[in-house]
Structure 1
Amino acid sequence: MSLGDEHDGQTRTRLPDPGTPRPPARGSRSLVAVVGVVVLLVAAIALTNRGDGPSPSDATGPDTNPHSAAPTAATGVRPVTGKNGTIPSGFARDEQGAQSAAANYAVALGSVDMFQRGPRENIVRAIHDPAVVDGLVQRLNDSYSPAFLTTVGLNADGTAPTGLTFVSRTIPVGTKIKDHTGDTTTVEVWCTGLVGLAGEGSTKPVTSTWFTITEKLRWVDGDWRVVSSAQAEGPTPVNGDNRASVADDIAQAVEGYGGFTYAR
């Protein structure tokens, strides 16, 4: 599998080959694996449907979208009370509902479960348009190969080595509608993420990254479903002066603090 440049006249997004993570901004061996993991989470999904829709707009270029930026506070039309397995469902059939869906789907795609075959397939089938699911499941199984998993410090089945805790979390910071036409919507989700192995002796410590996921959604069978996804770096803020916690503190935090259902 290989990925090239997508270009629609307004933007260019370079998606890496999942088997060959792109070089990180910092020269750290651990960060090479970290960036490779984060990029794979959505870039591998994007390779299935690269030609299905337009590429995301360039975040640094002029914004010609008629939709203005929405407040960061949650303003959903109604609470989301449904569940499809462990993933929220039952989003409103409007722009706000689409943004809520995109944020929650980004969380699922960036989760630890994506690294194990059975849970990964459950996620893919729960949040994607059925028309793209079967091919996507196969491609992801090929991408998350035992060889790839071992390069990021995991066992061949995607589990963490004994004594270590694998961390993979995506945290949406905000969402933005890029296009909305009837039952098709394109949403950008600005995220920060945590990924790595926590625990004594870890050679791949948990680090943070910043990226934007662009999801093309379609209204299917009473809910929003992902048709295709793409990922790009940033926007990335300047690092603060916080002292890094020890590995055990990170492991305890991940195990002790639950996630959220996100709503616009």
Structure 2
Amino acid sequence: MSFGDEHGYGGDPGHTSGRADDGFGGTGQTRTRLPDGRSGDMYGGPRRPARSSRSLITVVGVVVLLIAAIAFANRGGGGGGASDGGKGGAAGPGADPTAATGVEPVTGKNGEIPSGFARNEQGAASAAANYAVALGSDGMFNAASRRDIIRATHDPATAEGLLSDLDRAYSPAFLANVGLNEDGSTPAGLTFVSRSVPVGTKVTEVSSAAATVEVWSTGLVGLAGEESTKPVTETWFTITEKLKWIDGDWKISSSSQTEGPTPVNGDNRASTADEIAKAVQGYGGFTYAR
């Protein structure tokens, strides 16, 4: 699946946040912190599920997993895999986010999203990676949290128009086709999974006022549970974010997404729906990428 749409935006500053560094320069290297307890066979499988539709609707201003989710929704029902539970909905303890270690990360937050990135190459790469995580999260499927995410990551001059487009895209019919309830909530007995995990970043352009960063990522999307007909699958994609320095932080002015690079699938066995549900509940996502 290839997504070539890109929409340019422009606007005036409108968001304030704390600063970590005002110097320009940097190493250009980004390291990603993942949960220490991750397991290599959480969601791998001997073969990839077939996708029946590769020419699907697109949205102005790319949101990381939306188009992948549309393909997932239109792929058609598949078995949820062997399961001896899948009661992931509301039961069990919540997953704990994995805090950053090592060199002190940014200390600011805009809601749940890190803010106050350095005004240099490394800061731009970190901002792009963190924004990719937020835009690929399950929060994008809920209207209220979607507004918080978009406003925290985008140029204020373009955020409201993008939200209008996304509200139309995340329609009750679309959410139902994904397997969710029409309000975006998860059906009882199932666990909805939508995560984006950056594998690496590449800064292709950078100045004191703007940057272009490519974030190569893998994502998980689907419903885990005994009755699921939309099993959790993996996707590989690269999101290109055009960033602007706005009132003390990097913000997305436009973005586009392409499929891959996609590695050869390994020989890991496909986990049961119950194992996937427990993994999602037990392993929190990382809170900072650099």
Compute the TM-score of the two structures, normalised by the length of structure 1.
0.74
One-letter code of the match for 2:148?
N
Shift in Å at residue 32 of structure 1?
A: 5.0
Partner of 1:113: 139
Matched, 1:236 2:251: no
Partner of 2:236: 210
Partner of 2:207: 181
Instruction: Kindly indicate whether the alpha-carbon contact (under 8 Å) linking 1:45 and 1:230 is maintained by their aligned counterparts in 2.
Output: no
Partner of 2:79: none
Partner of 1:51: none
3-state secondary structure, aligned to 2:201: strand
Matched, 1:44 2:59: yes
Distance 1:5 1:44 in 2: 8
3-state secondary structure, aligned to 2:284: coil
Shift in Å at residue 83 of structure 1?
A: 1.1
Cα-to-partner distance string for 1:139-178 (whole Å, 9 max, x where unaligned): 1101101111111111111111111110000000000001
Instruction: Map 1:236-255 to 2 at 5 A.
Output: 236-255=262-281
**Same amino acid, percent of matched pairs:** 67
Shift in Å at residue 79 of structure 1?
A: 1.5
Partner of 2:246: 220
Instruction: Kindly indicate whether the alpha-carbon contact (under 8 Å) linking 2:214 and 2:240 is maintained by their aligned counterparts in 1.
Output: yes
Cα-to-partner distance string for 1:56-97 (whole Å, 9 max, x where unaligned): xxxxxxxxxxxxxxxxxx9x9851121111111111110100
One-letter code of the match for 1:222?
G
3-state secondary structure, aligned to 1:46: coil
Partner of 1:134: 160
RMSD (Å), alpha carbons: 2.7
Residues 115 and 32 of structure 1, relative CA distance in 2, 3 Å threshold = farther
> What stretches of structure 1 of length at least 5 have no aligned partner?
7-25, 49-73
Distance 2:104 2:123 in 1: 9
Compute the TM-score of the two structures, normalised by the length of structure 2.
0.67
Matched, 1:263 2:278: no
Which has the bigger relative contact order, CA under 8 A and spacing at least 6? 2
Distance 1:137 1:180 in 2: 27
Partner of 1:22: none
Distance 2:228 2:273 in 1: 8
Shift in Å at residue 261 of structure 1?
A: 2.9
One-letter code of the match for 1:229?
S
Q: Which has the higher strand share?
A: 1
> What stretches of structure 2 of length at least 5 have no aligned partner?
7-47, 64-99
One-letter code of the match for 1:207?
T
Instruction: Kindly indicate whether the alpha-carbon contact (under 8 Å) linking 1:124 and 1:133 is maintained by their aligned counterparts in 2.
Output: yes
Distance 1:259 1:201 in 2: 25
Q: Which has the higher helix share?
A: 1
3-state secondary structure, aligned to 1:186: strand
